[in-house]
Amino acid sequence: MLGEGIVKGLAETARNFFGSYVNKERLTTVQYPEERLPQIEATRDFPFLVYDGADPAAGLRCVACQICEKECPPKCIYIVKSTDKKPDATGKPQAYPAQFDIDISVCMSCQICVEVCPFDAIKMDVEFELSSEDRFGGLLLDKYKLAKSNEYYNKIHPTEAGAVDAALAEERAKAKLAAEAKAKKDAEAAAAKAAAAAAAPAVSATPEPAAATGETK
């Protein structure tokens, strides 16, 4: 019979219409500013800079290597490398970004900067309420606005941050070990050199290359 499907459809919408007044669970809308859906862990929108420790200026992991600046497809990152070096979180002297700007209005959230960063210094944020009254400067974030602590990173992406932290800790431990070993070797080499120098001051040229090779190893 013609119109059977129409009647079925009308019954369905009528059920929705009255049901939505009776049963609040039918309503799928989330009243946004007051209520919010929990964000899933994989949420990503714009990049930010991670710092270790308490001081955003001193603890930035970024060493201004400018790989992200080169890789950024829409070219929204602008970095000025510092001329001097400062000790980073581990106390090692490193270059740091004198200026680090990201134009969020240009960024396309591709996450390539995160992929290429060898220092795990740039990560994706989940903050989406970024609207600004300032048309040109409002979305141009400098390094002070971009800097967010490692704790924050752990909060928004716990799994990923845990993995990064573990990797970093391992790396640092390895680096420390290597540094210790190197220091030891250096010391040994220096001692050997000193001993050699002391033992055979007359033979001047021959042992020198051996010491040099040992040092380069």
Partner 1 sequence: MSGSLLAYANDVDQIFVLAKHWLLGYVPGPLEPITSAILSVVPVMLAFPLLFAITTVLERKGLGRMQNRYGPNRTGWFGILQPMADGVKSLTKEDIVPRTADQLVHYLAPVVMVIASFLAYAVLPIGRNMVIANLNAGVLFFFAIGSMVELSVFMAGWSSHSKYSLLGAMRAIAQMISYEMPLVLSSVVVIMAAGSLSTVTIVNLQAGYTGIWPHWYLFTPWGIVGFVIFMIAATAESNRCPFDMPEGESEIIAGYFIEYSGFKFALFFLAEYLGMFATSAMAITLFLGGWAAPFSFLTWIPSYIWFFAKLLTIIFMFIWVRGTLPRLRMDQLMNFAWKFMLPLSLINIVGAGVWHFMPAGFVRWGAVSLLLILSCVLLSRGLRRNKWFHVRTYRYAT
Taking CB under 8 A as the criterion, the residue among 12, 127, 151, 186 binding partner 1 is 12
- Three-state SS for 79? strand
String of contacts with partner 1 for each residue 30-49, x by CB under 8 A: -x------------------
Binding of partner 1 at residue 204 (CB under 8 A)?
no
Listing DSSP states for 14-59 in one string gives: HHHHHHHHH-GGG-----TTT--PPPPTT---SEEEEE-SS-HHHH
Stretches 20-28, 99-107, 130-138, 177-185: which one binds partner 1 (CB under 8 A)? 20-28
Both structure tokens of 78: 């602008």
Q: Does 90 bind partner 1 (CB under 8 A)?
A: no
Beta strands in 54-180 (DSSP E): 77-81, 86-87, 93-94, 97-103, 122-124, 140-141, 147-149
- The least distance separating partner 1 from the CB of residue 21, rounded to whole angstroms, comes to 7
Q: Which stretch binds partner 1 (CB under 8 A): 15-23, 98-106, 131-139, 175-183?
A: 15-23
How many other β-carbons are positioned within 10 Å of the β-carbon of residue 94?
A: 19
Task: Point out which span in 17-25, 70-78, 84-92, 196-204 binds partner 1 (CB under 8 A).
Answer: 17-25
Query: Of the ranges 18-26, 72-80, 158-166, 193-201, which one interacts with partner 1 (CB under 8 A)?
Result: 18-26
- Structure tokens given for 103: 């134009």
Closest by CA position to 74, among listed 101, 103, 46: 103
CB of 48 to partner 1, least distance (A): 32
- One-letter identity of residue 100: F
CB of 29 to partner 1, least distance (A): 5
For partner 1 (CB under 8 A), the number of binding residues is 18
Residue type for 11, please? A
- Kindly list the residues in this chain that would bind partner 1 in the complex (CB under 8 A): 1-2, 6, 9-10, 12-14, 16-17, 19-21, 26-29, 31
